Structure formats: C-alpha cells, structure tokens
Amino acid sequence: LTVRLPFVVIGGGLTAIDTATESLAYYIVHIEPLLRRYEALVDEIGETAVRASWTPDEAVIATEFLAHARAIQKERENAANEGRKPQFIDLLNQWGGVTVAYRRRIIDSPSYPLPPDAITPALEEGIRFAECLVPEEVEIDAHGAATAIRFAKQRFDDAGVASTAEMVTLPARTVLVAAGTQPNTVLAREDEHNVHIDGRYFQALDEQGN
C-alpha cells in the first residue's frame, strides 16, 4: 500500500489508535527499501535511466520518499554514533505526522476509559488526537489523490447535544478509516451503481471485475 504523509485516521477506539501508531511505523519500512533499490539501480544504469519511465506524479512522490528515507537513514547514523536509539517522531511530525480525528470528545471515545497503557503510549509517541470532528469531504488533487479532509467541528452543550461550530480542514495525503467493529457498508447505499453488497460485506471482485 502506497501511503503519503500527513495521515488522518477517522475513529476514536483502540483500532484507530493502533492504526495511527502502525501507520508511522509502516511509513518508515515503506520508504527505506525504496531508497536502497533506487541507489542500487542508479549505480547499475544511472539516474537518468532510472527516472526515465516515471510519470510526473510518480517523480514527485518518489522524490519525496527518497528525501524522507535519506533523513531517516541520517538519524539512524547519528543515533549509532551517539549510542542511542533512533528518534523518528520529530521527522515524521515535520512531514505531517498522524492525527486521529474523532466525532466526539476524547473523554467519550471508546479508548479513553480503558487502562492508561492503552492510549497514553500512543500520545507519548507523538500521535495527535483531534476531537469533535465529523468528516464532510475529502479534497483531492489533479491526479485524484487526497490532499486534505474537511470536517464539521462540533460543539456540545451541557445536555450533550451537538451543533456545528465551524469547519476545519486538515492536510491529509492518506485517509485511514478505523471506525466501528462491524463492516461499514454505507458506501453501497451512497453509490449503489458502483458498489454492491454480498451479505454483510462488500461484494468481492477479481482483477477482471467479475
């Protein structure tokens, strides 16, 4: 799965927290092999030949990944020289990091009443938690890729009734949905001509669309 920072995770439970922490870990193992492969190919056939087949969009993404991978590599070298563990979170946050966006308050989230070791380490790792945000629209670029997600920010009165206070936009190159323990098949009702249901799940299709 190709992912780009910043990440936004929709949800508020432990699955959302796990998704946020794992997405940052995955990003590092996603880009470092690319750098190794790229450098090996450049040594073999030259940089011009390596880049010749890339589309303009692929060139932008690859250049971004290579720069990030080199920064990760540099931090690994610095940590080894200084006898410490590599610290990647500052770099990841510079590149956008990950935000968990929840429709209610953090005290209402399924993960909040659990033992502190369920959520505190994630926050200590640099995961951001944005509360009272209801997703409204994903903004895309000319290639159809996500660039941001727009939310309605909710305000709760003393009775717990929500109203929209303002609109908020978060940068998001990757949107990960981690909401609910049951299959979320709302899309099939919203786009019934393209998405179909098989029992409780989306209908599976092979590579030929059958």
pLDDT at 159 (0 to 100): 72
Which strand (E) or helix (H) includes residue 138?
strand 133-140
3-state secondary structure of 183: coil
Reply yes or no on whether the pLDDT at 3 is more than 90: yes
Mean pLDDT of the chain: 90
pLDDT (0 to 100) of residue 89: 93
| Best CA proximity match to 101, nearest among 163, 183, 16, 15 | 16
**15: three-class secondary structure by DSSP:** helix
**Burial grade of 126 (CB within 10 A; 0-12, 13-18, 19 or more):** middle
Q: What is the pLDDT of residues 101-136, one digit of tens each?
A: 998 887 777 666 666 566 777 777 888 999 999 999
pLDDT in tens, 49-107: 999 999 999 999 999 999 999 999 999 999 999 999 999 999 999 999 999 999 888 77
pTM for this one?
A: 0.80
12, β-bridge pairs = none
Which amino acid would we find at residue 60? V
